[in-house]
Structures are given as structure tokens and as C-alpha cells.
Amino acid sequence: MDNIFPTYAQFPMDLVSGHDWHIKDSNGKEYLDFTSGIGVCSFGYSNELIIKNVEEQVKKIWHTSNLYPSKLVDEVAGMLCPQGMLAFFCNSGTEANEAAFKLARKYTGKAKILAFNNGFHGRTFGSMSLTGNKSVQAGFSPLVPGVTFADFNDDKSLDKITDEYAAVILETIQGEGGVIIGDKSWIQKVAKTCHDKGVLLIVDEVQTGIGRTGTKFSFEHYDIHPDIITCAKALGNGLPVGAMLGKKSLASAFGPGTHGTTFGGNKLSMASAKGVLTQLTPDFLNKVTEKGKQVADIIDQTISPLPVVKKVSCMGLMIGITLEDELKVGDVIAKLQDEGLLTLSAGHNTLRLLPPLVMDINDLKAGLAKISEVLKNEVVTE
Ligand SMILES: Cc1ncc(COP(=O)(O)O)c(C=O)c1O
């Protein structure tokens, strides 16, 4: 690529078309997709309702700005928000977290935010400052002040949550950090401590939300009630949309002129999000849970026992297979690409699988068989 900043170490193929959960590159090679464009295209590449909604909208009007009320935007917000919450629409996960950071400060009048080591919240200054990964922050100092980090899944971190803080932000599953699942009892203790100390709880559902774990939002597995939720990725199935959802009681801090974005609530993105949310029914979510269980069983039997596999984490269709250090996840991804399977990495040495939620069980099994075959042929040298 001659005209693009090299911010991504890119794979060699140009993906030019897709159908259901299959993708073709510019040489005509076909791949089974276990990435969903990094957790985005959960309804695959040819979903009829989403295409219809966007096609109809593109013929009407694409963009009007937030200066005018929109029934469509309000309808999508109503479909997305848990009871008693309002939405602010933006264009990405990092922007959703920026909005959450600003709202927490403005509402509480406090500056400090507690975030977790190994977490990821985005690349803009606020979200990057909340990201507990030195390599993401390197070279960009000074960061936004007021952010403290604590260890994830560690009871000692609870002591750090004091009434000096505006908010605590966490992912229930640290996705980019290596698919590290939050312990239920620990996350509940964090939520209770926040509640007791008058600290807002922000749950970043950018990767885990919109059905990925078998529920609309992953925090539902934890029986907690966040004050603020951020989401993006799968919400537009590939059209850019992010959202910050917050309790109605916070609305006084986000009045006219406090925050904004030109493109947030863009009508094409909203038409796509409406298609996503219309299909995110309890029945659909149950199917994701069922497929997730079958996938976890297969991994348990065929992949976990392999000598190159250190640890496996699965919740719904969010899957991490952490490899022994001797085997580089990048090499495994390249071999799987040769075999016609697209996968992702995360954290230190984790193979991350985020297949489209609509993928049928036969193709999920076919992809897992390829992974098991490639990993079987790898030997860990002592
Ligand atoms: C948990 C989480 N938060 C925030 C982001 C940032 O989202 P975006 O890349 O849309 O800005 C990501 C992206 O991977 C993420 O996984």
C-alpha cells in the first residue's frame, strides 16, 4: 500500500466480496470468516433485512445532522437502550468511550477514573488514556490526567474504588487483552463497591455487546446494572456507529452544547442498526448461546488437549485460544489463511475467534477442524 500510513501490519490479501459468512479475495480465493471484521459483521455479508433497510434509506436521504429530530434515531435508541437509559450516538467505540468519560466527569464534578490493566478502550486521547496497555500509549504523552489503573479480577483492586472517583470503566471480557473473562463474583463486587461509594460504573460493551456472548449485552451474565454502557462494532454490522447509553438521571449533565458529533446518528448507519436490532431477538440470542455451547464442547474435546494450547476462554461466540509462547499466533493465523480460514489475534499470544453470529453449526465445526488440524501439526520444543 503506497498511500496509507502503516498503522496496521496488514495481511497479504485484499478481501473484495462476501456472502453470508464467506469472503473472497481479489485472486478469487474463498475464506470462511472467523473474524466478522473484528467483531462487526455479526449478521454476515448479505443479510437481507439490513441490505433492504440501507437501500431504502439511501434513496430517501443519507444525512441531516443532529440539529433536527429523527424518528428513526429515536426508534433505534429505544430498541438499543435498557429500561431507563438514553442514548448518545457517535461513530465508533473510542468515541462512545470519550462520551462516557466526559459525561462521568461532568455529572459527578470529579476528575478521577479507575480503569484496568490489560483493558482496551480505544485510540483517541481519552480512551487511550483509559487503556491499560503501555504499548498503546507509548509516544503519545502527556495523556489525559486523572486515570488510575488496577488489576482485573483482583479483589485488592476493590480498595482503590473510593468516593474520590467519578467512575470505574471495565470490559466484562477483556477482548483485545486476550479474551480474559471477568469473574462473576469479582465484577459483582466492583459494581457493589461503585454503588456504595457513589462512583459511576461504565461497562465497555464495544466488543462484547450486541449478541456476541449470547445476550444483548454481556453484563447481563453478571446480574449488574451499569450506569453507562458503551457499544459500537456489531451495532451497524459494518456501517460506522457507536453509542453511549446512560441512565436518564445523568441527562442534566449532557444538555445542549455539552457534547456532539456531526455524523452521530447518521441515517444510513441507523437504518443498518435498526436491521441488526430487529433481528437480535431472544430466539436469535438463544441460538447464539446454543452454538456457543457446541463450539465450547468441540474445543474442549479437540483443541484444549493439544500440547501447544495453554488456555481456552469461551463465552457465546467470543473465543480465545491462548498458545504456548514457543508457537507464534501470527504464524498460526497465516497457516489458517492458507487453509481458507480467517482468524484474529489478541493479547500476548491468543488466537481470537469472532465468527459471524449467523454462521451455521456445520461451518463453525469446519473452521474448528481446520484450527485443530493446524495446531496438531505444531510441536512445542522444550
Ligand atoms: C472493548 C473495546 N473498546 C473500544 C474499542 C475501540 O473501538 P473503535 O475501534 O471502534 O474505536 C475496541 C476496539 O477494538 C474494543 O474492543
> Among 118, 207, 263, 315, which residue has the most ligand 1 atoms within 8 Å of its CB, making it the best to mutate?
207
What single string gives the DSSP state of each residue in 85-143? EEEEEESSHHHHHHHHHHHHHHHH---EEEEEBT----SSHHHHHT-B-HHHHTT--S-
Ligand 1 pocket member 176 (CB < 6 A) = yes
Whole-number Å distance, alpha carbon 222 to ligand 1 midpoint, is 21
Whole-number Å distance, alpha carbon 175 to ligand 1 midpoint, is 9
Position 158 in a domain: yes
Report the candidate in 276, 269, 274, 273 with the shortest Cα–Cα distance to residue 62: 269
Position 300 in a domain: yes
> Among 89, 95, 233, which residue has the most ligand 1 atoms within 8 Å of its CB, making it the best to mutate?
233
My answer on whether 292 and 307 are in the same domain is yes
- Atom of ligand 1 lying closest to residue 174 CA: 1
Ligand 1 pocket member 207 (CB < 6 A) = yes
| Burial class of residue 36 in the structure, from the number of CB atoms within 10 Å of its CB (0-12 exposed, 13-18 middle, 19+ buried) | buried
We report the CATH number of the domain holding residue 239 as 3.40.640.10
Distance, CA of 67 to CA of 74 (rounded, Å):
14
Domain boundary among 252, 279, 306: 279
Pairing status of strand 318-323 against strand 350-353: antiparallel
Position 39 in a domain: no
My answer on whether 191 and 305 are in the same domain is no
My answer on whether 110 and 246 are in the same domain is yes
Whole-number Å distance, alpha carbon 373 to ligand 1 midpoint, is 31
What single string gives the DSSP state of each residue in 30-48? EEEESSHHHHT-TT-S--H
Ligand 1 pocket member 99 (CB < 6 A) = no
My answer on whether 275 and 286 are in the same domain is no
My answer on whether 239 and 256 are in the same domain is yes
- Atom of ligand 1 lying closest to residue 38 CA: 14
Residue 1 confidence (pLDDT): 85
- Atom of ligand 1 lying closest to residue 122 CA: 6
Domain boundary among 279, 305, 335: 279
My answer on whether 227 and 203 are in the same domain is yes
Position 40 in a domain: no
What single string gives the DSSP state of each residue in 185-203? HHHHHHHHHHHHHT-EEEE
Q: How many domains does the chain have?
A: 2
Position 42 in a domain: no
Ligand 1 pocket member 206 (CB < 6 A) = yes
Residue ranges making up the domain that contains 304: 15-33+282-376
Domain boundary among 251, 279, 307: 279
Ligand 1 pocket member 205 (CB < 6 A) = no
> Among 120, 131, 181, 235, which residue has the most ligand 1 atoms within 8 Å of its CB, making it the best to mutate?
120
> Among 97, 121, 179, 261, which residue has the most ligand 1 atoms within 8 Å of its CB, making it the best to mutate?
121
Show pLDDT as tens, one digit a residue, over the chain (382 residues): 899 999 999 999 999 999 999 999 999 999 999 999 999 999 999 999 999 999 999 999 999 999 999 999 999 999 999 999 999 999 999 999 999 999 999 999 999 999 999 999 999 999 999 999 999 999 999 999 999 999 999 999 999 999 999 999 999 999 999 999 999 999 999 999 999 999 999 999 999 999 999 999 999 999 999 999 999 999 999 999 999 999 999 999 999 999 999 999 999 999 999 999 999 999 999 999 999 999 999 999 999 999 999 999 999 999 999 999 999 999 999 999 999 999 999 999 999 999 999 999 999 999 999 999 999 998 665 5
Position 307 in a domain: yes
**Collapsed DSSP state (helix, strand, coil) of residue 22:** strand
Output b/e per residue, 288-301; b: 16+ Cβ within 10 A: bbebbeebbebbee
My answer on whether 238 and 329 are in the same domain is no
- Atom of ligand 1 lying closest to residue 92 CA: 10
Whole-number Å distance, alpha carbon 300 to ligand 1 midpoint, is 29
